[in-house]
Amino acid sequence: QVQLVESGGGVVQPGGSLRVSCAASGFSFRSYGAHWVRQAPGKGLEWVSFIRYDGSEKYYSDSVKGRFAISRDNSKNILYLQMNSLRVEDTAVYYCVKDRSFGTPRAFDIWGQGTMVTVS
């Protein structure tokens, strides 16, 4: 069964740090690009970050560039998002998402259930 399971969300004070993780199973995780997408309460979807299948390239939205870092461990099938200098406006559900391709932010075909991050 193809699955993405996020963990690590919680409540953190402004200026603090948090790392969320995503465990992949049921498919060849190392063969696909992966994203983090967030959704603030009652708001729309916001693309946050993308990492190529091999971790060789990483892209970020302007709103998180310089504060967040995406990484992956293909030996463990895990995707990470390290979030530093957190702001109140970073409060959202963070989704781990598999891309259809290996190297370009193309389309999101498998979504995790999300993990809630509250900055307060």
Binding-site size, other proteins (CB under 8 A): 24
Q: Which is nearer to other proteins, 12 or 116 (CB)?
A: 116
Smallest distance from the beta carbon of 80 to other proteins, in angstroms?
19
- Asked whether position 44 contacts other proteins by CB under 8 A, the answer is yes
**Which residues in the 52-111 window bind other proteins by CB under 8 A?**
59-63, 95, 100, 104-109, 111
Helix (H, G, I), strand (E, B) or coil at 29: helix
Instruction: Tell me whether residue 79 or residue 112 sits nearer to other proteins (CB atom).
Output: 112
Residues 6+ apart with CB under 8 A from 35: 47, 48, 49, 50, 51, 96, 97, 98, 99, 105, 108
Q: How many angstroms separate the CA atoms of 98 and 107, rounded?
A: 8
46 binds other proteins (CB under 8 A): yes
102's tokens: 């290996």
Give the residue carrying structure tokens 């892209």: 59
How many residues does this entry show for the chain?
A: 120
> Which of 2, 5, 40, 45: binder of other proteins (CB under 8 A)?
45
Report, in Å, the least distance between residue 106 CB and other proteins.
5
| Among the listed residues 86, 85, 59, 54, the one whose alpha carbon sits nearest the alpha carbon of residue 70 | 59
- Report the residue number, 52 or 72, with the smaller CB distance to other proteins: 52
Applying CB under 8 A, which residues contact other proteins? 35, 37, 44-47, 50, 59-63, 95, 100, 104-109, 111-114
